Amino acid sequence: MTTTEQLTECDVDELGRELDQIRDEVIAARGESDARYIRQVIAVQRSLEAGGRALLLVSILPPAWLAGTTALATAKILENMEIGHNVLHGQWDWMCDPKIHSATWEWDFATPAEAWKHSHNFVHHTYTNVLGKDRDIGYSALRIHPEQPWHPVYLAQPFYNLALAMFFEWGITIYDVELERVWRGEKSWREALTQLRGVLGKAGRQVVKDYVAFPLLSGPSFLPTLLANLTANVIRNAWTHTIIFCGHFPDGTVVFTEDQLDGETRGEWYLRQLSGSANIEGGTLFHIMTGNLSHQIEHHLFPDLPSNRYAEIAPKVRALCERFGLPYNTGPLLQQTISVWKRVLRLALPGRS
């Protein structure tokens, strides 16, 4: 781990103990205020969606179309980021509310919740930034770290990354089927096709809901409503893609090899999360709209803690990094976005620079 070579084994163990203490303090403090927070966010999201859908019934009028599309896009971002992503991480399971639980929640996203929980919660969060184990490194489509071998297909990655941003939910849906494992002989076509049928069922329902049912309900406003739903989904997809990429791929994030997992201690696991993640600076509303994934470092350290607590513990994590001489990768949204796109452009070409 090149960024942590100055640490002794005792340092790493102490870092792990102090991060565990931060986690334990949050778990002990969870309570009604946290439950009230997520219920309020859900209530706001549902009000925005209902209001947006109602406005789109008369979206043949341009002001109604603009207001309805804005409300619907905002609702979709909230549902995807601050609610769906975090509920499916089990952040609110401690409430024992069957309506807000990782085992029962199904989100407004093309990929089924169960498939996503396997690829994201288990694979990505267990093997964060480990080459050959973490499929989220470039999402099996991009060369995002110089340690990845170059292939001529990467010459086109600036273009297909832009397409991925616009249609991110569909890219993730295909990605969760793990087709590249089928091509490598690590997964049978039978298993992939069974999984694909489930994915197509969920994706089909999403298509019918947004592009058939609600436009039909709008009657004379069918086409404006159809366009509004498409616009809201593209906005949500582009925003989600930007936040996720800025949390994982700006300059300064590093990757690891599989042999570094051998005998990995709790402290070393924490170090891997710190080194492979990046934060985005902003205000309270900005953090909520990112699903608090603007605190990606804290999320990778503590993926099952309530997201509203990340802003509270971020200064403590940063202070620990400063004390142990560790980098704490953070910056404004524009800075992190530029860093990511420079990397996408640079690594489309052969070479390790």
| Token representation of residue 20 | 């565990």
DSSP 278: -
**pLDDT of the residue at 2:** 44
Q: Is 99 helix (H, G, I), strand (E, B) or coil?
A: coil
What backbone torsions phi and psi does residue 304 show, to the nearest 5 degrees? -105, 10
- Residue 305 identity: L
Other CB atoms within 10 A of residue 116 CB: 20
Spatial distance between the Cα atoms of 144 and 348, rounded to a whole number of angstroms: 8
Using the structure block, give the residue that is written with the tokens 């209902």.
50
> Looking at the chain, which runs of residues are DSSP E strands?
279-281, 330-332
**pLDDT of the residue at 179:** 73
Contact criterion met (CB below 8 Å) for 88 and 105: yes
Spatial distance between the Cα atoms of 45 and 36, rounded to a whole number of angstroms: 14
**pLDDT of the residue at 113:** 92
Spatial distance between the Cα atoms of 118 and 131, rounded to a whole number of angstroms: 18
Cα separations (Å) of 160 from 10, 132, 138, 164, 168? 45, 22, 12, 6, 11
Q: What is the tens place of the pLDDT at every residue in 131-145?
A: 989 989 998 889 999
Q: What is the tens place of the pLDDT at every residue in 259-317?
A: 999 999 999 999 999 999 999 999 999 999 999 999 999 999 999 999 999 999 999 99
Tens of each residue's pLDDT in the chain, 353 residues:
345 667 899 999 999 999 999 999 999 999 999 999 999 999 999 999 999 999 999 999 999 999 999 999 999 999 999 999 999 999 999 999 999 999 999 999 988 898 899 899 999 999 999 998 998 999 888 999 999 999 999 999 999 999 999 999 998 888 877 777 777 777 777 777 877 887 888 889 999 999 999 999 999 999 999 999 999 999 999 999 999 999 999 999 999 999 999 999 999 999 999 999 999 999 999 999 999 999 999 999 999 999 999 999 999 999 999 999 999 999 999 999 999 999 999 999 998 76
Contact criterion met (CB below 8 Å) for 102 and 88: yes
3-class DSSP string for 249-312: CCCCCCCECHHHHCCCCHHHHHHHHHHCCCEEECCHHHHHHCCCHHHHHHHHHCCCCCHHHHHH
Spatial distance between the Cα atoms of 154 and 160, rounded to a whole number of angstroms: 9
pTM metric for this prediction = 0.93
What backbone torsions phi and psi does residue 89 show, to the nearest 5 degrees? -80, -5
Spatial distance between the Cα atoms of 204 and 2, rounded to a whole number of angstroms: 46
